[in-house]
Amino acid sequence: MLTPKKVKHRKWRKGIVRTEIETRGTELAFGSFGLKALEASWVSARQLEAARRTVIRYLKKGGKFWIRIFPDKPVTKKGTEVPMGGGKGAVDHYAFPVKPGRVIFELEGIKEDIAREAFKYATDKLPIKTKFIKR
């Protein structure tokens, strides 16, 4: 799974999920086909890894694959049945706050119908609606 090697601050504030359109990472930079987010949400490292594995498994060693986002936001969680107070919980996992318009994955070196099908399976593993795009 994707986790940062080193972070400036171990625990972050939660922040709010911004729903405005993304301005960075909206165009295809590496491949011919991509998967673009249509909703705003936090995508966890586990969800990214599950989507990546389904795409790789479907491609069967064909093509080149890029992940355009990296989960670096620490998400904390307190243990079960822990009373109020006692400070913030420990870091549970890492996530990436996705905004609409962000390219999540890119593919190169395969036919369009195969890429479309692979991204369809990847979308099922993600908590957001996505759109298939091509160069």
Predicted TM-score (pTM) of the model is 0.91
**pLDDT reported for residue 37:** 97
Q: What's the rounded mean pLDDT across residues 48-61? A: 95
Count of other CB atoms within 10 angstroms of residue 36: 21
Count of other CB atoms within 10 angstroms of residue 61: 5
H-helix segments, 16-134 = 45-59, 112-125
Topology (CATH level 3) of domain 33-75+91-134: Aldehyde Oxidoreductase; domain 3 (3.90.1170)
**pLDDT reported for residue 18:** 80
CA 56 to the chain's CA centroid: 15
- Domain boundaries, given as residue ranges, for the chain: 33-75+91-134
